[in-house]
Amino acid sequence: MKWFASFLVGAAWAGGLLLAVVSVVEPSRAAFPGANGLIVFSSDRATTTNPDGDYEIFTMKTDGTEVTQLTDNSAFDSESVFSADGMNIAFVSTRDNGIEEIYTMGSDGNNETRLTDNSATDTNPAWSPNGQKIAFESRRDGNSDIYTMDTDAANNDATRLTSSPAIDHWPVWSPNGQKIAFERTSTGNFNTDIYTMDTDAATGDGTNLTKTTSVDELTPD
């Protein structure tokens, strides 16, 4: 599915960024970071320490062997993504307040760190190419918009990038870290288009690349 998503982004993003976006979508959303050769994924499978089978984060080799459970709690852990160097994982969990927040941990499951802390949902994390920032979707200001934050910072350092009455979600970075592609879903007719924006263009409208009455997605929901 992620290779299909990469195709959609590449088709939408014109010029010199076409190949660049194709290459960044997989590290951002897909399981292969390239650096450690592992796949990271969430599963509700029952395990010895998780007999009820709530969603936890796992890794495995590309041939399906050496499945390793990284998280172990009664909360919902999902949306796991590797950093570009394969050393860290960002993911979403409801473990602390029952609300979806963004966390990071090492690729071995150690050093779990909570990055966001508010009463709104924070979802869809995406690492910047240099691993220093995470783009994500949040409803903290009353609507679904795209934000970025430092990977070593708490919620109060988050920067709001979009400000639209529509639903902005699923951010992905360009390899040079200067642009973010994202989906915008109209609240009127619910069609979805693909947009891009500069990462330093706070509360900008972005550039609409697909202008249809259909649903154009970067990644499957």
Q: Is the pLDDT of residue 23 over 90?
A: no
Type of residue found at 210: T
**pLDDT digit string (tens) for 135-154?**
999 999 888 999 999 998 65
What's the whole-number mean pLDDT along residues 49-72?
91
What's the whole-number mean pLDDT along residues 22-35?
44
Whether 114 contacts 122, CB under 8 Å = no
What's the whole-number mean pLDDT along residues 45-56?
87
**pLDDT digit string (tens) for 79-92?**
999 999 999 999 99
What's the whole-number mean pLDDT along residues 8-17?
40
Identify the pLDDT of residue 36: 78
Type of residue found at 162: T
Angle between helices 18-29 and 2-12 (to 10 degrees): 150
Q: In what order do the strands lie in the sheet with 207-208?
A: 167-173, 179-185, 192-198, 207-208
- pLDDT-derived band at 165 (thresholds 50, 70, 90) equals confident
Identify the pLDDT of residue 187: 76
Rounded Cα distance between 53 and 7, Å, is 33
CB atoms inside a 10 Å sphere around CB 160: 14
Identify the pLDDT of residue 210: 81
Rounded Cα distance between 74 and 146, Å, is 28
What is the C-alpha radius of gyration for the chain, rounded to an integer number of angstroms? 17
Buried b (16+ CB within 10 A) or exposed e, 74-95: ebbbbbbbbbbbbebbbbbbbe
Architecture per CATH, 2-208: 6 Propeller (2.120)
Rounded Cα distance between 108 and 58, Å, is 10
Return the percentage of the chain with pLDDT > 90, whole number.
Answer: 52
User: How would DSSP label each residue in 149-187?
Assistant: EETT--GGG-EE-B--SSEEEEEEE-TTSSEEEEEEE-T
Rounded Cα distance between 33 and 55, Å, is 22
Higher per-residue pLDDT: 102 or 164: 102
Q: Is the pLDDT of residue 221 over 70?
A: no
Task: Give the Cα-Cα-Cα angle 38, 41, 42 (nearest 5 degrees).
Answer: 155
Higher per-residue pLDDT: 157 or 112: 112
The domain limits of the chain are 2-208
